[in-house]
């Protein structure tokens, strides 16, 4: 079915500012078949949040210079891949392709012109009212008639078949729509208000008609006020995202610097053979992770670190939580602030990542007085624990967002969750086996990483529902163990997707 001229105009109006002039600077973009009208600024403030503690995004000028030096085309890379955890409002719209014959031309005519690029998101002047990205599961690519293997076995099998590698207790807690392989793709809508997103969704649904079927949606939002950038347990998130070569020119002290091919297929550092058209795409891992906040808070109260004359009960509770995470709620690392929070340190991106767990007065292999071996940030980025220079392979670009309401007074009083909330976890990587799945299975879920008897990651570590024994959380006795009988983070399922470049959409997926 063809859209009327009026429908096309309405669609373009509701996404005003999404389309910008695409001026190829590298050969990888010269084959693009689509062109975009010059964008007119529609914004006076960014649709992204800007948390002091997180590394700033590069300016357009700096990113363009870095990309040029690395032969990277930021106009061909979908915007969410390199931006990280900075969205204000975001809707994940999971769909199946009901009619591929009708969908493919609409992918070119109605979706592609609306996709937001990396360059567009870097300036308020070129940001759309509502940003749009799209990604496809393996079954989605199959539905589009794509037979090329992308060189990633986890992606090819889908997340539902990967349960045993993720520590989930089967699919007992999964959202039913994530079981099986019925989800073909996901649209990511991002803006600063739900109304903007709702208007964009309605417009795109009208344009696509019955060639897709909505399967499931999840609405995410930055938490209110000073909690923006914090996940529901209260800890500042997104501090440790890596600096990608070809995008970031001035990494913060302690920020990991990774080759573009760690995140983007076909770029320097990606050692897997890929189809040519897949270059500058990225694998998107989506996980809906419910967080049992009242139960977590109760656990901290019941098991607070005790140091008479030094810590109040509340301070002991706060310290236990900080040692489980590896950071205080402000973002300050316990490795640099081992006993009390230091909000000034937490808010300073030049200092809050500038540590390696090495201290001249302590043995790296045995001392846990500063940061436990089991702490979440140490399990997922062990830094000097694995030697120096730091591992540069097992890094991911995290781009998730909280979902669900704040904890109610009734929930807090009862120490029981009654309304679901959590993290819509998103990571981008060029290799799921080296990225998300490696971090979850080989590090977080491994009781003997980095050292034997450490226990699993007390936050995201999962043992198929079994109780978890963790050591090192009490700074006064590193041999003391705590037994976690509740998973404070509960997997509600998800899927693996491929986020293609714009040229891949126009040159392969839509033809």
Q: Report, as residue numbers or ranges, the catalytic residues.
A: 237
Q: For strands 257-258 and 282-291, give the pairing.
A: unpaired
Distance CA 461, CA 451 (A): 15
Dist CA 165 CA 442 (whole Å): 9
The conformational region for residue 214 under phi > 0 = left, psi -120 to 50 = alpha, else beta, is: beta
CA distances from 402 to 86, 227, 232, 375, 414 (A): 11, 11, 7, 21, 22
What are the distances in angstroms from CA 67 to CA 58, 98, 244, 246? 11, 38, 10, 4
Q: How far is the CA of 78 from the CAs of 116, 170, 324, 498, in angstroms?
A: 6, 33, 34, 11
Q: How far is CA 192 from CA 131, 301, 342, 425, in A?
A: 10, 36, 30, 19
What's the per-residue H, E or C state across 49-70?
A: CCCCCCCCCCCHHHHHHHHHHC
* CA separation for the pair 38, 120 (Å, rounded): 12
- On the CB side of 293, CA atoms within 13 Å amount to 23
Taking residue 352's Cβ as centre, other Cβ atoms within 10 Å add up to: 31
Name the token pair of 131. 């940003």
Say which residues have a Cβ less than 8 Å from residue 271's Cβ, sequence separation at least 6.
261
Asked if 80 and 254 touch (Cβ cutoff 8 Å), the reply is: no
Q: Measured between alpha carbons, how far is 508 from 201 in angstroms, rounded to an integer?
A: 25
* Residue 410, H or E segment: helix 409-414
Contacts of 377 (CB under 8 A, 6+ apart): 240, 325, 326, 327, 333, 371
């Amino acid at each position: 079915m063809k859209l009327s001229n009026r429908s096309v105009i309405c669609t373009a109006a509701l996404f005003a500012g999404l389309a910008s002039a695409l001026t190829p600077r590298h050969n990888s973009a010269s084959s693009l078949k689509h062109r975009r009208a010059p964008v007119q600024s529609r914004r006076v403030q960014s649709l992204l949040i800007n948390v002091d503690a997180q590394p700033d995004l590069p300016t357009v000028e700096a990113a363009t210079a870095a990309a040029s030096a690395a032969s990277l085309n930021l106009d061909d890379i979908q915007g969410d891949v390199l931006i990280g955890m900075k969205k204000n409002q975001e809707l994940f719209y999971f769909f199946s392709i009901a009619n591929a014959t009708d969908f493919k031309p609409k992918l070119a005519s109605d979706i592609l012109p609306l996709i937001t690029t990396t360059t567009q998101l870097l300036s308020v002047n070129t940001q759309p009212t509502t940003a749009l990205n799209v990604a496809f599961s393996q079954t989605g690519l199959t539905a589009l008639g794509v037979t090329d293997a992308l060189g990633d076995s986890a992606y090819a099998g889908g997340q539902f078949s990967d349960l045993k590698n993720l520590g989930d207790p089967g699919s007992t807690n999964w959202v039913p729509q994530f079981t099986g392989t019925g989800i073909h793709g996901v649209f990511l809508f991002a803006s600063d208000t739900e109304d903007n997103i709702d208007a964009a969704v309605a417009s795109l649904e009208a344009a696509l008609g019955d060639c897709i079927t909505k399967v499931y949606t999840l609405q995410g939002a930055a938490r209110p006020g000073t909690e923006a950038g914090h996940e529901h347990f209260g800890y500042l998130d997104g501090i440790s995202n890596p600096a990608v070569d070809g995008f970031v020119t001035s990494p913060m002290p302690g920020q990991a610097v990774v080759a573009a091919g760690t995140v983007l297929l076909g770029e320097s550092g990606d050692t897997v053979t890929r189809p040519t058209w897949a270059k500058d795409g990225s694998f998107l891992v989506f996980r809906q992770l419910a967080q049992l906040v009242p139960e977590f808070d109760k656990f901290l109260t019941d098991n607070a670190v005790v140091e008479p004359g030094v810590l109040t009960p509340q301070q002991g509770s706060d310290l236990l939580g900080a040692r489980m995470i590896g950071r205080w709620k402000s973002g300050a690392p316990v490795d640099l602030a081992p006993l009390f929070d230091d909000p000034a340190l937490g808010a300073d991106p030049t200092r809050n990542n500038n540590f390696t767990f090495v201290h001249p007065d302590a043995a790296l292999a045995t001392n846990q007085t500063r940061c436990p071996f089991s702490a979440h940030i140490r399990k997922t980025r062990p830094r000097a624990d694995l030697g120096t220079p730091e591992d540069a392979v097992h890094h991911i670009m995290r781009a998730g967002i909280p979902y669900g309401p704040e904890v109610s007074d009734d929930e807090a009083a009862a120490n029981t969750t009654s309304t679901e909330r959590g993290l819509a976890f998103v990571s981008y990587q060029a290799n799921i086996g080296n990225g998300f799945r490696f971090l979850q299975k080989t590090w977080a879920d491994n009781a003997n990483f980095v050292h034997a008897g450490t226990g699993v990651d007390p936050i995201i570590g999962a043992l198929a529902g079994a109780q978890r024994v963790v050591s090192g959380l009490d700074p006064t006795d590193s041999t003391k163990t705590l037994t976690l009988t509740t998973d404070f983070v509960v997997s509600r399922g998800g899927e693996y997707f491929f986020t293609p470049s714009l040229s891949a959409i126009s040159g392969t997926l839509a033809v």
